[in-house]
Structure 1
Amino acid sequence: MLMSTTARLAVTVAATTVFATTPPLSAGAAARPQEPRAPREFVALDSVDPTIRQEMRYVSAHNFVGERIDGYRQPVCILTRPAAEALHRAQTRLLTQGYTLKVYDCYRPQRAVDHFVRWAKDLADERKKAEFYPRVDKSRLFEDGYIAAKSGHSRGGTMDLTIVPLPALPAPPPGPGQESVPCFAPQAQRYPDNSVDMGTGFDCFDTLSHTDDPRVQGAQRANRQRLKSALTAEGFVNLPEEWWHFTYKPELFPDTYFDFPVSRRSVSGHRP
């Protein structure tokens, strides 16, 4: 079928637009979608304070899902610079007391949150129930507030963390069956961690994880208060339902949920 002059002109213009907006490929290279990068306000935490320990749980399979979470490419804590600098000040305070901070999670991409949501909707997948949510029916994870479609972590000013006594010794490998021990069991029985005893493990879906739960007393309560005091003094706000969860205020991006991957590449080249 022959095209009119007008139609031929339209095809020519359209082709020109595609070529003008498509970057040239090197010989033999395949086209790949461009990954989003972090805004300049984000930094790797260890570029601000290399003394803070990092045990990024969602890069490993030891988490409530039971596999590496989407978007976690490397075990690196990424935060907005004001949050990282405030965390450094809290660390300085704790070091004088014989402790160090340890982060479990920091910035979390939206694709990771989406992974949590997909997992929560799959009621048949209960690989990690015995450890992380033994007393919660999986069908109630949304209703009870353990899983949500959006997370403050994706805004860059929220982190999950604990404290470790100095000298910080590595945690021993888990013994047989410890990955099935409830997260609220006595510390010597549950999955090993080199942190102080907080009464529950990290990401324990249970009311015992509430920061001020009256059933948590003695050294466990004192440890929670030590962490909370050090962080609130520097502008962090604790989520009452999770002793490990803190947000630096005011947030730089209170209404933005980012989706760049967790990797050094996402923040490489940034300068103060």
Structure 2
Amino acid sequence: MLKPYRTVPIQDCGEPLLPIDLSTIALTDPPPYLQLGADYQGQSPYVLRQGVLQALARAQTHLSQQAPGWKLLIFDAYRPLAVQQFMVDYTLAQLQQAKGLGSRALSPQERQQLLQEVYQVWAMPSPDSATPPPHSTGAAIDLTLMDAQGQIVDMGGDIDELSPRSLPDYYANSPDPQALAYQQHRNLLNQAMEAAGFLRHPEEWWHFSLGDQLWAWLYNQRHPQSSVIARYGRVAELL
């Protein structure tokens, strides 16, 4: 099933991929998917489009004003299409094991049912230039927060978690003080990113984008009278 944001037209602006500035922003080291065996073919996951990088710097400035000493911690940014496919296959295999299906060959129906769950978190690795995975555009980021002591902030759920806890406002109405702290951390991250122009994935507290199809679709939901199209397409087409 085609997700609605993937129908948004793309007119790529041609901006290059550039490295993330490490002077104020932290990176997960080593890159998580590289550890799992994903092949980036010599490319770094820690690159983004030039305009996205400029916005990321503004987001860090906003965060520093709200929480002195805290940093944005980048989990993942750019993904070649092959890495997107690797992670879909990896997550499918993990889910198959978790559901007690072993490592046997799945029937077409079983595979489709599992893939529906996988695609709740992972975008389809489509080679079609009209429907690129967000991370393959260099305009999407997965990130969390690091506090002033250099500790990763507990957000009440892991990045890429196939769980209702991944929903951004999962803890919003909880009476539990710890749960409310998780929600406050998520809100802090969202406020910093939105202040710089990013918009958050409606089902993932960690995923933000600016200028890709998902961002344009979300922007148009908020501003139906001034709709936009995507300005970042799949990077591979620019090389």
Taking structure 1 as the reference length, the TM-score comes to 0.58
CA distance in 2, matches of 1:102, 1:197: 12
> Deviations 1:152-205 (Å, cap 9, x if unpaired)?
00011100001111131xxxxxxxxxxxxxxxxxxxxxxxxx321111122111
CA distance in 2, matches of 1:204, 1:165: 22
In the TM superposition, what is the alpha-carbon distance from 1:230 to its structure 2 partner?
Answer: 0.6
**Could you say if the C-alpha distance between residues 255 and 126 of structure 1 is closer, same or farther in structure 2, counting changes exceeding 3 Å?**
farther
CA contact (8 A) 2:45 2:78 kept: no
Give the secondary-structure state (helix, strand or coil) at the position aligned to 1:143.
helix
Give the secondary-structure state (helix, strand or coil) at the position aligned to 1:242.
coil
Between 113-122 and 226-235, the greater mean CA deviation after superposition: 113-122
CA contact (8 A) 2:121 2:162 kept: yes
Whose RCO is larger (CA < 8 A, sep 6+)? 2
1:83-232 aligned at under 5 Å gives the runs 83-96=52-65, 97-98=67-68, 99-120=70-91, 122=93, 126=97, 140-144=113-117, 145-147=120-122, 148-150=124-126, 151-168=133-150, 194-213=151-170, 214=172, 217-232=179-194
Give the secondary-structure state (helix, strand or coil) at the position aligned to 1:224.
helix
Give the secondary-structure state (helix, strand or coil) at the position aligned to 2:115.
coil
State the identity as a percent.
Answer: 26
Structure 1: tracts of 5 or more residues without a match: 1-38, 61-66, 130-136, 169-193, 261-265, 267-272
Give the secondary-structure state (helix, strand or coil) at the position aligned to 1:159.
strand
Larger Rg: 1
> Deviations 1:28-80 (Å, cap 9, x if unpaired)?
xxxxxxxxxxx76210012xx522000031122xxxxxx22121646651000
Equivalent residues, number: 183
In the TM superposition, what is the alpha-carbon distance from 1:228 to its structure 2 partner?
Answer: 0.2
> Deviations 1:102-156 (Å, cap 9, x if unpaired)?
00000111111121233355579648x9xxxxxxx98644213233224200011
Matched, 1:233 2:233: no
Which amino acid in the other structure matches residue 256 of structure 1? Answer: G
Q: CA RMSD in A?
A: 3.2
**Could you say if the C-alpha distance between residues 241 and 40 of structure 1 is closer, same or farther in structure 2, counting changes exceeding 3 Å?**
closer
Give the secondary-structure state (helix, strand or coil) at the position aligned to 1:142.
helix
CA distance in 1, matches of 2:92, 2:159: 22
CA distance in 1, matches of 2:206, 2:95: 28
CA distance in 2, matches of 1:199, 1:72: 33
Structure 2: tracts of 5 or more residues without a match: 1-13, 101-109, 127-132, 214-228
CA contact (8 A) 1:154 1:257 kept: yes
2:10 aligned residue: none
CA distance in 2, matches of 1:119, 1:95: 36
CA contact (8 A) 1:120 1:138 kept: no
CA contact (8 A) 1:107 1:158 kept: yes
